[in-house]
Amino acid sequence: MATLDEPGTELEDFPTLTQRYQRELLAHCYRMSGSVHEAEDLVQETFLRAWRAADKFEGRSSVRTWLYRIATNVCLTNLENRPRRPLPVGLGTPDAVAGDALELDHEIAWLEPVPDAAVEVAERDTIRLAFVAALQHLPARQRAVLILRDVLRWSAAEVAEALDTTTAAVNSALQRAHAQLAERGLTADTVEPNLTAAQQHMLERYVDAFWRKDVDSIVGMLTAEATWDMPPFTSWYRGADAIGWLIGTECPGGAHDMKMVATRANGQPAYGLYMRTPQGDFTPFQLQVLELEGDRVRHCTAFFDVTLFATFGLPAGLPDDRVPAPSSP
C-alpha cells in the first residue's frame, strides 16, 4: 500500500473514503445500470473490492480514478447478458390513442429514477432521465466509454487502460456511441437550466390542478406534443389532448383525492402523488418526474413502483385532511 506521503493516503481511512466518494460513484453506477437500487449494490461491491485490493494499490493514479475503474468493471460484469432498462416511450411501439386498453408488463426491468439527494448535484445534467434512457440504448461497453470520456473527461488512454483495450478501440466505440445518441437528439447538453420563477409558478398551478382534478388546466400546462408514460404500463401517450383523456378517464382519483409532495429526481422536478383511500387518508400512488420546455411540461414519466417513495425519503402515507363534522349536542 502507498505510504502516507503517496496518493494512497486516503486508503488508510476507509470509512472516510467511502463517505467522500459514495455520491459520485452512485451517479456513475446509476448511469451504467439505469437502476438506483442496483447502483447502490454496485457501489457497495466497488468498495468491497477496493478494500480487498487496497494493499495492491501502487499509486500510479489517484484513488478516485482507481475507484472509478473498479466501479466501471463491476458494472460491466453486472450488465453481462442483461437486457437494457427502457422507458415505455423508448420501446419503439406507437403511442396509444384515447380508448386503448392500458397494457401492463411487470416482466420488463424498467429504468428507474434517482433522487437528487443521493448523487452529486454538480453532475445532475448527466443524470437527466432522458439522457440516462438514451444511454440504455448503447451496448454496455459503449456506454462505459461514453461516460468515462464525455462525463468524467478521461483521456482515451485512461479509458483504454481501465477497460483493458486499445485507444483505437475506445475512439471507435465513442464514435459509434455518439452516432446512436445523435439519432435520438440527446446529449448531456440538451438539458434545461435551473427553474425560472415562471416555471416554479407553473409547477405550483400543476399541483393545484391535480388536487382539483382540473383536466383542462393540466392540459393547458402541457406542450402540444407532450408525451406521458407510466412504467410498468407499456402504453404511452403523445399530445396534450391524449394525455388529458388519460388523466380524465383512467386516473381513479377525483377532486381533492390526489395530493402531491415535491421532490427532485434526475436533476428534474418530481412529485410523489398520493391517492385518497376510502378511509380518507392518502397512500402512495405514483412518482411523477417532469421534463419542462419553457413554462410547460414536455414529458412526464409516472412511475408506479411505490417502493420508490421510500427511496426518495417521501412519507409512507398522508393523514386524512377533512374536517370532521361537529358532534351533536
**pLDDT higher than 90, residue 262:** yes
Asked whether residue 216 is assigned to any structural domain, the reply reads: yes
Asked if residue 303 and residue 273 are part of one domain, the reply reads yes
- Residues 79-102: what's their mean pLDDT? 91
The number of folded domains in the chain is: 2
Asked if residue 234 and residue 139 are part of one domain, the reply reads no
Q: Name residues whose C-beta falls within 8 Å of residue 31's C-beta, 6 or more positions apart in sequence.
A: 126, 127, 132, 135, 143, 147, 151
Instruction: Tally Cβ neighbours within 10 Å of residue 157.
Output: 11
pLDDT at res. 320: 94
Asked if residue 65 and residue 139 are part of one domain, the reply reads yes
- pLDDT tens digits, residue range 180-214? 888 876 655 555 557 899 999 999 999 999 999 99
pLDDT at res. 53: 87
Asked if residue 104 and residue 29 are part of one domain, the reply reads yes
Last residue of a domain, one of 183, 212, 229: 183
Asked if residue 171 and residue 259 are part of one domain, the reply reads no
CATH number at residue 248: 3.10.450.50
Look up residue 232 and give its three cell numbers.
410498468
What is the chain's mean pLDDT, rounded?
90
Asked whether residue 88 is assigned to any structural domain, the reply reads: yes
Q: What is the pTM assigned to this prediction?
A: 0.90
C-alpha triplet 80, 146, 65: angle, nearest 5°: 85
Asked whether residue 140 is assigned to any structural domain, the reply reads: yes
Asked if residue 152 and residue 55 are part of one domain, the reply reads yes
Structural domain boundaries, residue 220:
197-311
Asked whether residue 118 is assigned to any structural domain, the reply reads: no
Asked whether residue 234 is assigned to any structural domain, the reply reads: yes
Answer for the pair 301, 128: CB distance below 8 angstroms, yes or no: no
Asked if residue 47 and residue 135 are part of one domain, the reply reads yes
Asked if residue 206 and residue 291 are part of one domain, the reply reads yes
Asked if residue 284 and residue 173 are part of one domain, the reply reads no
Q: Which helix (H) or strand (E) holds 71?
A: helix 63-79
pLDDT at res. 329: 59
- Rounded distance between C-alpha atoms, residue 76 and residue 67, angstroms: 14
Asked whether residue 20 is assigned to any structural domain, the reply reads: yes
Asked whether residue 215 is assigned to any structural domain, the reply reads: yes
Could you write out the DSSP letters of every residue in 241-284?
Answer: HHHHHHHHHH----TT-EEEEEEEETTEEEEEEEEE-TTS-EEE
Asked if residue 162 and residue 33 are part of one domain, the reply reads yes
Asked if residue 219 and residue 144 are part of one domain, the reply reads no
Phi, psi of 9 (to 5 degrees): -50, -40
Asked whether residue 161 is assigned to any structural domain, the reply reads: yes
Asked if residue 201 and residue 179 are part of one domain, the reply reads no
- Residues 67-79: what's their mean pLDDT? 97
CATH number at residue 99: 1.10.10.10
**pLDDT higher than 80, residue 2:** no
Nearest to 127 by CA among 36, 261, 232: 36
